[in-house]
Amino acid sequence: MRAADEAYPVGAAPPAESYLNAARILAVATRAKCDAVHPGYGFLSENAAFAQAVVDAGLVFVGPPAAVQRALGEKTTARRIAREAGVPVAEGTEPLADLADARVAARRIGYPVLLKPAGGGGGKGMRLVAREEDLAPAWRMSTGEATAAFGAPALYLERAIERPRHVEMQILADQRGSVVWLGERDCSIQRRHQKLIEETPGPAVDATLRRRLGEAAVRVARAAAYRSAGTVEFLVDASAGFVFLEVNTRLQVEHPVTEMVTGLDLVALQLRIADGEALPFAQADVAPRGAAIECRITAEDARAGFVPTGGVVALVREPAGPGVRVDSALVAGVSVPTEYDPLLAKVIAHGPDRATAIVRLRRALREMRVAGLPTALPFHRHVLAEPDFVAGRYDTGYVAAHWPPRDEPELADTAAASAALVAVLARRERSARAPQAPDDGAWARAAREDALRELPT
């Protein structure tokens, strides 16, 4: 908000009253004399009804048209489009009528199966079901979560691939029928089917697989009459076989890694495409350089199994340096609410090769400070030095296998003594204050006041 030239309130904190309130957002857009709406990568970026409402209000929607979003947003329809375009899909079903239906289908496909909401992606409501007796409780929970997240309870089943890598392909399509692919991102480092680290190029993707994935993504995009930036997601198995997963009809959180290696500004290209311009380059002009890795710094207590945490940011230091990019919403004094996605900042490093990108990212993460609430920073610091990650040996089972760490951190004697001294000083300072003082008292208040002073009045 502080980077904006103009800002208007859209409603109270609960998403349904603000960011999901399309009518309110369009009223604000009209009043502010906007000519286009960019939905970001949050709540409204994959909402066909919103895309249609924007167009109906006489504005340009920066993203694929509502009809495309609707077709690809319904996951079994997207699978059909991919299959008809000659792209392999995992064996699976159409939306299922009920649990009995699911039981029959699961027996036919064979366990383990993935139970997925037909109405939306992003890992919400998705469950791996290993045995038939687990199907009934999974069905109940996924139905509830799908209804809450997408307003649609429909579920379908897919054959589960053992220890896959989650590899996705960035595409761009203009309104004149040109479609290009911009390279893959490996997003296998996930918890609860949600991404924590993304990188390009994928450590397990060679030039042949890259071209096959790129061409498959372009075929899906053409078959769906896709426009704007989008991502086609695949699962890649240990022998470089792949199946289509879904299409994310929006810009993604992890788009900076692709920007770093291609030198392209994806948001600017989205705007130019929305304005009717032709893509200013062809497939042959796309020449990725080096490697880039992104870490998502979330408001989650990584040490306590990634439980979401709220709180007041008491202190922030963001890293900088060659090849380092930080996209951040962190400001000292800001209160982190629990109503929204826990993403606080993205730290991205680019280098001429993967080893350099790792060294730069490791240094950036060690330079970064966030205090006042637990974050995922300790997780990222651990992973960037962990041998399997450094060697590029990982799949979607990585977090379960490598976190929490087994070993205590290594500290020099003077560092340990310094930490012990500070622990004692902090303890003494706290007990000198009122015993019921909140965790972030005076400092946070002062910081908040500082932050407020920076706001334009």
Partner 1 sequence: MRYEVALAGRALRVDLSSDGRFAVDGQAVAADAREVVRGRQWSVVLDGRSHEVTLVTYEPLRLDVDGVDVEVSVVDERSQSARRDGIRSASGRVEIRAPMPGLLKSVHVAEGDTVERDAPLVTLEAMKMENELRSPVRGRVTKLGYASGTKVEGGAVLAVLVQTSE
Query: Could you give phi then psi for residue 205, rounded to 5 degrees?
Result: -110, 115
E strand or H helix at 31 = helix 22-31
DSSP class of residue 304 equals: G
In the set 210, 219, 227, 250, the catalytic residue is 250
Residue closer to partner 1, measured from CB, 308 or 392: 308
Beta carbon of residue 381, minimum distance to partner 1 (angstroms, whole number): 7
Beta carbon of residue 361, minimum distance to partner 1 (angstroms, whole number): 12
From 348, 383, 352, select the one nearest 368 (Cα to Cα).
348
Beta carbon of residue 290, minimum distance to partner 1 (angstroms, whole number): 24
Residue closer to partner 1, measured from CB, 268 or 417: 417
Residue closer to partner 1, measured from CB, 9 or 435: 435
Residue closer to partner 1, measured from CB, 185 or 362: 362
Q: Which residues bind partner 1 (CB under 8 A)?
A: 303, 314-315, 365-374, 377-378, 381, 408-412, 414-430, 439, 441-443
Q: Quote the CA–CA distance of 163 and 188 in Å, as a whole number.
A: 10
Residues 6+ apart with CB under 8 A from 411: 419
Residue closer to partner 1, measured from CB, 354 or 382: 382
Beta carbon of residue 341, minimum distance to partner 1 (angstroms, whole number): 21
Query: Could you give phi then psi for residue 350, rounded to 5 degrees?
Result: -125, 145
From 386, 410, 381, select the one nearest 398 (Cα to Cα).
386
3-state secondary structure 205-259: CCHHHHHHHHHHHHHHHHHCCCCEEEEEEEEECCCCCEEEEEEECCCCCCHHHHH
Beta carbon of residue 454, minimum distance to partner 1 (angstroms, whole number): 17
Q: How many CB atoms lie within 10 A of CB 53?
A: 19
Beta carbon of residue 257, minimum distance to partner 1 (angstroms, whole number): 23
Beta carbon of residue 25, minimum distance to partner 1 (angstroms, whole number): 36
Q: At what angle do helices 99-109 and 135-150 cross, to 10 degrees?
A: 110
Residue closer to partner 1, measured from CB, 351 or 374: 374
Using an 8 Å Cβ cutoff, are 264 and 182 in contact? yes
Active site residue 131: no
From 345, 368, 348, select the one nearest 360 (Cα to Cα).
348
Q: How many CB atoms lie within 10 A of CB 290?
A: 16
Q: Quote the CA–CA distance of 80 and 225 in Å, as a whole number.
A: 14
Residue closer to partner 1, measured from CB, 7 or 421: 421
Beta carbon of residue 403, minimum distance to partner 1 (angstroms, whole number): 13
Query: Could you give phi then psi for residue 159, rounded to 5 degrees?
Result: -65, 135
Q: Quote the CA–CA distance of 258 and 254 in Å, as a whole number.
A: 8
**Which one-letter amino acid corresponds to residue 221?**
A
Where would I find the H helices in 313-384? 354-367, 377-383
Residue closer to partner 1, measured from CB, 202 or 374: 374
Residues 6+ apart with CB under 8 A from 456: none
Any idea which residues carry the catalytic annotation?
250
